């Protein structure tokens, strides 16, 4: 395991700001200027629509969502509508796919397997990956990890949303992923809130193992400073 996985904890950050960081890192990874990278973030309540997104799967009018400070983003990942919010760990791995057996399917399986093992080992929660239209990680008929990725010039972006202590009532705003299925969380399955910071550390540990990378945690201030410098406009 001689390859690195740079890990940046964006902590609580609006979706648009995290998306700008993600695209910046993607560009640098495409140019082979940085190692494979994992961005972790907790977003304020937000909805995103993937490339197969249908506004009919958003039940509340935009005006009602706006009153609650909820924005809708149309993004380039696969899938339909997804909710992100407090208590959810969102991961954006920015990975060169050439090292993953089976390319995109192997990469998605690595993420799912890592989180399935985490759920079983740490919480006794039995989950499974599904490959049909109900893709993601499921506990019975309820989704606990949503996944939606994009690949740009051989490098991944977007990723997964892992419901830890998520307010599941917010999923009533949408038809999650357009599937008319239920959702769940670690909190619901165990009957008590999980230690969010601990789970975030476990996500890094399990993903690094399945990516066959050595994690290297980096300060977010370093990345933000780089991004700010790259977007400066010279008079």
How far, in Å, CA of 167 to CA of 34, rounded?
35
Least confident of 20-34, 96-110, 116-130: 96-110
pLDDT score at 157: 94
Whether residue 235 is contained in a domain is answered as no
- Note the pLDDT tens digit of each residue in 186-209: 999 999 999 999 999 999 999 999
Least confident of 77-81, 116-120, 218-222: 77-81
Whether residue 141 is contained in a domain is answered as yes
We report the CATH number of the domain holding residue 216 as 3.30.930.10
Q: Is the pLDDT of residue 131 over 90?
A: no
pLDDT score at 234: 39
What value does the mean pLDDT take over residues 134-141?
A: 87
Whether residue 232 is contained in a domain is answered as no
pLDDT score at 31: 95
Q: Are 7 and 216 in contact (CB under 8 A)?
A: yes
Higher pLDDT, 43 or 174: 43
> Which residues on neighbouring strands pair with residue 106, listed in sequence order?
none
> Which residues constitute the domain of residue 23?
4-226
Whether residue 29 is contained in a domain is answered as yes
Least confident of 13-27, 39-53, 157-171: 39-53
Spatial neighbors of 132 by CB under 8 A, at least 6 apart, are none
Closest C-alpha among 39, 42, 44 to residue 23: 39
Supply the mean pLDDT for the chain.
88
Spatial neighbors of 52 by CB under 8 A, at least 6 apart, are 78, 79, 80, 178
How far, in Å, CA of 19 to CA of 50, rounded?
14
Prediction pTM value: 0.90
Whether residue 213 is contained in a domain is answered as yes
Rg (CA), the chain: 17
Whether residue 109 is contained in a domain is answered as yes
Of the residues 13, 177, 203, 207, only one is catalytic, namely 177
Q: Is the pLDDT of residue 178 over 50?
A: no
Q: Is the pLDDT of residue 228 over 70?
A: yes
Q: Is the pLDDT of residue 1 over 70?
A: no
What value does the mean pLDDT take over residues 16-36?
A: 94
Number of domains in the chain: 1
Our answer to whether residue 84 is catalytic in this structure is: no
């Amino acid at each position: 395991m001689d390859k690195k996985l740079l890990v940046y904890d964006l902590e609580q950050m609006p979706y648009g700001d995290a998306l700008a960081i993600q695209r910046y890192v993607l560009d640098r990874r495409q140019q082979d200027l940085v190692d494979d990278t994992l961005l972790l973030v907790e977003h304020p309540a937000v909805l995103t629509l993937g490339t197969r997104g249908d506004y009919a799967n958003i039940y509340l009018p935009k005006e009602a969502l706006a009153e609650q400070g909820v924005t809708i983003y149309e993004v380039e990942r696969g899938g339909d509508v997804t909710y992100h919010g407090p208590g959810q760990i969102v991961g954006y791995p920015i990975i060169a796919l050439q090292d993953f057996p089976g390319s995109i399917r192997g990469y998605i399986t690595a993420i799912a397997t890592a989180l399935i093992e985490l759920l079983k080992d740490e919480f006794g929660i039995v989950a499974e990956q599904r490959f049909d239209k109900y893709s993601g990680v499921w506990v019975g008929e309820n989704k606990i990890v949503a996944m939606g990725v994009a690949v740009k010039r051989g490098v991944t972006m977007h990723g997964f949303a892992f419901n830890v202590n998520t307010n599941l009532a917010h999923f009533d705003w949408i038809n999650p992923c357009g599937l008319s299925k239920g959702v769940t969380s670690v909190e619901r399955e165990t009957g008590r809130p999980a230690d969010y910071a601990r789970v975030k550390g476990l996500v890094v540990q399990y993903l690094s193992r399945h990516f066959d990378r050595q994690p290297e945690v980096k300060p977010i201030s370093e990345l933000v400073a780089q991004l700010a410098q790259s977007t400066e406009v010279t008079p």
